[in-house]
């Protein structure tokens, strides 16, 4: 099939002579990636900002200061919203498209930020956290899928990794904002209210962005899809992409019209893909990343640094390392591969968690030696250095590419929901668990989970580096039905055409 043979597509060769250039010679894909990635910035900012704001919320509301449960609820209510947002976000993406889903997320997030900034008591603050979480949940599903569907396969990992960089950049920005507002009246209100600014910026920019070309193709809007694809690929590659989309679009439309959440578990190959994707999301959280990000100022204080400002400054350094590691991950994920990157990352995470455990075991003996406090900070920094290039981007990248088009929204939403549920469990239990068994023992438990994660990756996660969506689908079909599946399919196609 050629471009001219598609309905309504005659003249595309004349319309886009500049497509003979490499896709990377223009800034279109990068611009689209950055604008979509502002959703990741919202995600990261909200994750990071509450850790510093909580220190000052406790100062203003005595009831919060006296209740660990209320502190955990303020942190985790955003996660409850994110679970709801992610669970519904898959359906919103498939029904209304990636662009409209992003716009909806921006509106909800901005409203939630305003509610938090104006909250007269902790309970209105909790409502604002719920609204912000809804927006973050939808964005967490939408941004990686939107970026992946507009990315050439050979750089898809790096571009989706840019969304993870925006997440870690948002966390770093949140610590800068926290530090900037420490001496300003209404400290925590400014910290939380500023979160609405990126949402408004993304809303305005997204109005100028196109819909995902793959979603348009699945909705049989081929003309608009080709117009978008022509801005991404050179001429020869454009024809290949259209051929692949045309071959799969009819089947995808039929599947999407009939697909339901339970269908994910009825199809063996989809079930295997979801196991890999959701498992990575769960292990990303249960190895402790948001324990570090949510409670890093508190952990620093537990390590012996009592000043709020010093705790925020040290946490800012941790957040900077997180962002720097994400930049490294953008390079490594398409060169080193998803699977190897995850395994090496988890190995370093185990070492880091053991160092943290040793530091807090030493501190629990009553020693006044400042070495243990600095050892805890070193453990946090090493944890981020190992986690951020690997287990930071890999789960989101894998989940953006392992599902067929007809199930990408549903499975992406379900998998993101697993991430947020796991996140909620960690956020709601970390302080209580640390109080019950000790912080050192808690970090040893997380290290044990990281060991289990290595086993999981070895058994269930295939390498998808550089593969097209069609090739990734073939991996799951072969894993589900055996290596003879492809041969049998080709024989069936041959008999149909003969």
- What pLDDT is stored for residue 14 in this prediction? 44
- What pLDDT is stored for residue 304 in this prediction? 67
Residue environment code for 118-142, b if the CB has 16+ CB neighbours within 10 A, otherwise e: ebeebeebbebbbbbbbbbbbbbbb
> Does 15 score more than 60 pLDDT?
no
- Type and span of the H or E element at 61: none
- What pLDDT is stored for residue 281 in this prediction? 95
Q: Please choose, from the candidates 183, 193, 168, 427, the residue with its C-alpha nearest in 3D space to the C-alpha of residue 312.
A: 183
| Cα 159 → chain centroid | 13
For 354-369, what is the mean pLDDT? 80
Residue 257 pLDDT grade (very low, low, confident, very high; cuts 50, 70, 90): low
User: Under a CB-based contact definition with an 8 Å cutoff, are residues 218 and 256 in contact?
Assistant: yes
- What pLDDT is stored for residue 289 in this prediction? 85
- What pLDDT is stored for residue 298 in this prediction? 62
- What pLDDT is stored for residue 243 in this prediction? 76
- What pLDDT is stored for residue 345 in this prediction? 97
User: Under a CB-based contact definition with an 8 Å cutoff, are residues 212 and 146 in contact?
Assistant: yes
Q: Please choose, from the candidates 118, 140, 142, the residue with its C-alpha nearest in 3D space to the C-alpha of residue 128.
A: 118
**What's the rounded Cα separation, in Å, for the pair 316 and 327?**
17
Comparing 314 with 448, the larger pLDDT belongs to 448
Q: What are phi and psi of 67, to 5 degrees?
A: -130, 110
Q: How far apart are the first and last CA of the chain?
A: 19
For 177-199, what is the mean pLDDT? 85
**What's the rounded Cα separation, in Å, for the pair 234 and 220?**
23
- What pLDDT is stored for residue 18 in this prediction? 44
- What pLDDT is stored for residue 455 in this prediction? 97
User: Under a CB-based contact definition with an 8 Å cutoff, are residues 306 and 138 in contact?
Assistant: no
User: What are the structure tokens assigned to 313, written together?
Assistant: 């400054």
- Who's near 417: CB < 8 A, 6+ residues apart? 83, 86, 87, 137
User: What are the structure tokens assigned to 400, written together?
Assistant: 């953006």
pLDDT digits (tens, 9 = 90+) for 70-83: 887 888 788 889 99
For 96-118, what is the mean pLDDT? 94
> Does 183 score more than 90 pLDDT?
no
**What's the rounded Cα separation, in Å, for the pair 238 and 232?**
8
- What pLDDT is stored for residue 114 in this prediction? 94
150-159, 276-285, 335-344: which has the minimum mean pLDDT?
150-159
User: What are the structure tokens assigned to 375, written together?
Assistant: 């050892």
pLDDT digits (tens, 9 = 90+) for 312-353: 677 677 778 888 898 999 889 988 899 999 999 999 999 999
Q: Please choose, from the candidates 191, 193, 196, the residue with its C-alpha nearest in 3D space to the C-alpha of residue 56.
A: 191
- What pLDDT is stored for residue 488 in this prediction? 47
Half-sphere exposure of 127 (CA within 13 A, CB side): 10
For 226-236, what is the mean pLDDT? 82
Other CB atoms within 10 A of residue 412 CB: 28
Q: Please choose, from the candidates 95, 45, 165, the residue with its C-alpha nearest in 3D space to the C-alpha of residue 104.
A: 95
> Does 444 score more than 90 pLDDT?
yes
252-256, 307-311, 413-417: which has the minimum mean pLDDT?
252-256
- What pLDDT is stored for residue 23 in this prediction? 40
93-107, 238-252, 349-363: which has the minimum mean pLDDT?
238-252
- What pLDDT is stored for residue 252 in this prediction? 56
- What pLDDT is stored for residue 280 in this prediction? 97
3-state helix, strand, coil in the chain (%, to 5): 85, 0, 15
Mean pLDDT, rounded, of the chain = 82
User: Under a CB-based contact definition with an 8 Å cutoff, are residues 354 and 288 in contact?
Assistant: no
- What pLDDT is stored for residue 492 in this prediction? 44
- What pLDDT is stored for residue 22 in this prediction? 43
For 373-400, what is the mean pLDDT? 88
Ordered alpha helix ranges (H), 388-462: 393-401, 405-437, 439-460
- What pLDDT is stored for residue 1 in this prediction? 44
pTM: 0.78
| Cα 486 → chain centroid | 32
């Amino acid at each position: 099939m050629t471009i001219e043979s598609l309905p309504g597509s005659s003249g595309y060769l004349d319309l886009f002579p500049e497509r003979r250039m490499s896709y990377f010679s223009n800034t279109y894909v990068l611009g689209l990636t950055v604008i979509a990635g502002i959703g990741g910035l919202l995600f990261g900012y909200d994750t990071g900002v509450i850790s510093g704001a909580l220190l000052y919320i406790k100062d203003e509301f005595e009831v919060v200061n006296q209740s660990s449960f209320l502190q955990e609820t303020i942190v985790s209510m955003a996660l409850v919203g994110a679970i709801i947002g992610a669970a519904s976000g898959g359906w919103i993406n498939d029904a209304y498209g990636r662009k409209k889903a992003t716009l909806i997320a921006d509106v909800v997030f901005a409203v939630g930020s305003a509610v938090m900034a104006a909250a007269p008591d902790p309970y209105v603050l909790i409502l604002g956290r719920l609204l912000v979480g809804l927006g973050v949940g939808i964005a967490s599903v939408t941004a990686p899928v939107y970026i992946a569907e507009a990315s050439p396969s050979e750089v898809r990992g790096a571009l989706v990794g840019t969304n993870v960089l925006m997440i870690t950049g948002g966390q770093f920005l949140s610590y800068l904002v926290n530090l900037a507002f420490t001496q300003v009246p209404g400290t925590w209100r400014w910290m939380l209210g500023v979160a609405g600014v990126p949402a408004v910026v993304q809303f305005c920019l997204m109005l100028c962005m196109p819909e995902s070309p793959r979603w348009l193709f699945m909705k049989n809007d081929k003309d608009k899809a080709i117009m978008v694809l022509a801005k991404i690929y050179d001429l020869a590659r454009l024809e290949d992409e259209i051929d692949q989309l045309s071959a799969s679009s009819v089947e995808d439309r039929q599947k999407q019209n009939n697909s339901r959440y339970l269908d994910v578990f009825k199809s063996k190959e989809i079930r295997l893909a979801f196991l890999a994707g959701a498992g990575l999301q769960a292990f990303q959280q249960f190895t402790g990343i948001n324990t570090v990000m949510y409670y890093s100022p508190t952990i620093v204080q537990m390590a012996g640094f009592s000043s709020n400002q010093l705790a925020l400054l040290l946490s800012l350094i941790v957040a900077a390392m997180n962002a720097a590691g994400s930049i490294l991950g953008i390079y490594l994920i398409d060169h080193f591969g998803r699977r190897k990157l995850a395994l090496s990352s988890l190995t370093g995470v185990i070492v880091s968690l053991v160092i943290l455990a040793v530091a807090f075991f030493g501190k629990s003996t009553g020693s006044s030696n400042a070495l243990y406090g600095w050892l805890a900070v070193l453990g946090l920094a090493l944890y981020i250095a190992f986690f951020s290039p690997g287990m930071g981007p890999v789960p989101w990248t894998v989940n953006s590419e392992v599902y067929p088009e007809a199930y990408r929204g549903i499975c992406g939403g379900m998998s993101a929901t697993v991430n947020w549920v796991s996140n909620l469990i960690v956020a709601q239990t970390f302080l209580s668990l640390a109080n019950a068994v000790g912080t050192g023992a808690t970090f040893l438990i997380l290290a044990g989970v990281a060991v289990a994660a290595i086993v999981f990756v070895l058994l269930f996660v295939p390498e998808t580096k550089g593969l097209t969506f069609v090739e990734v689908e073939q991996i799951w079909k072969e894993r589900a039905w055996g290596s003879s599946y492809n041969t049998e399919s080709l024989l069936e196609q041959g008999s149909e055409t003969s």
